[in-house]
Amino acid sequence: MPSAPPAAARPGVLELERQWLQSWFAQTPVAITLGADGALAVEVPRDFCFDAAHSAVKPPLAAVLDKVAESLRRRRHLRLTLLAAPDDPTPNAGLARQRGLQVRAHLQGRGVAETRLAAPTMAAGAALRLKLALPAG
């Protein structure tokens, strides 16, 4: 019977989640990366997230959020440590906040506890940015 690979050769939890999420969103504009900080980053271009001047979550973003929520439910120790929502090309921090609150509400509606979700912030750039990370320690 073959032995298990050494721990260093086995993919970590976040790498496994990156691979799983990437399998759902390959060939789409959704970027899923494992950063140097060890966090799993998910970026969705604004055009696929929200209509101009509106905060309602569009169906393509809802599909991404549903899979992120599934990751968070399956891996109960993961936390959403960044939720940065974009504003429109004309800066509007109030709109970005409303969008972030809508994203947060969507995740909560899919069974993710509020305590596991970062407070929404305004994204620097034209994409919704999420980060999943393991607690420190």
60: domain CATH number is: 3.30.1330.60
> Does the residue 98 lie in any domain?
yes
Amino acid letter, residue 105? A
Counts for the chain of helices (H) and strands (E), in that order: 3, 5
Side-chain-side CA neighbours of 53 within 13 Å: the count stands at: 0
Indicate whether 1 belongs to any domain: no
- Mean pLDDT of successive 10-residue stretches along the chain, which has 137 residues: 47 91 97 95 98 97 98 96 95 94 98 97 96 88
Number of domains in the chain: 1
Query: Is residue 5 included in any domain, yes or no?
Result: no
Asked whether 112 and 72 are in contact (CB, 8 A), the reply is yes
What is the per-residue pLDDT for 91?
Answer: 85
CA distances from 131 to 55, 63, 71, 75, 116 (A): 20, 17, 12, 14, 12
Q: For residue 4, tell me if it sits in a domain.
A: no
What is the span of the domain harbouring residue 41?
11-133
pLDDT at 10: 52
Residue 3 lies in a domain: no
2 assigned to some structural domain = no
Q: Is residue 84 part of a domain?
A: yes
Task: Please report the pLDDT score of residue 136 as a whole number.
Answer: 79
The predicted pLDDT at position 6 comes to: 44
Report how far residue 77's alpha carbon sits from residue 71's, in angstroms, rounded to the nearest whole number.
10
